[in-house]
Amino acid sequence: MNCAKKRRKRRALVARDGYRCAYCGIADAELTIDHVIPKSRNGVDALWNLRLSCLPCNTGKGSKYVVPADWEKRRMRTTPETSDKGTTVTP
């Protein structure tokens, strides 16, 4: 993935998640990008599979599959997104 795509994806995540950790909701922390379905378990880099996460939550989660607290709310209000390959996927 080139740098421009990574920047766009980061901006989209920040806009969607509002600078909050998807797991604990903390806002005043250094945030990392977390895969809800880990890449080690065939997770993808599509926006529906990425969340902002504080370092303690991301480290604690490791390669486990843990559904973020707001997953259902987001599923209800988002429309299907287009993955990097151009196919439509749903969260």
Residue 85, both tokens: 């390959």
Give me the pLDDT at residue 71, please.
55
H or E stretch including 77?
helix 71-77
pLDDT level of residue 77 (50, 70, 90 thresholds): very low
Q: Tens of pLDDT along 1-60?
A: 688 888 999 999 999 988 899 888 898 889 999 988 888 888 898 998 899 999 998 888
Average pLDDT over residues 56-80: 64
CA 65 to CA 83: how far, in whole Å?
Answer: 20
CA 37 to CA 41: how far, in whole Å?
Answer: 7
Q: What is the DSSP letter of 19?
A: T
Please name the residue ranges forming H helices in the chain. 3-17, 55-61, 71-77
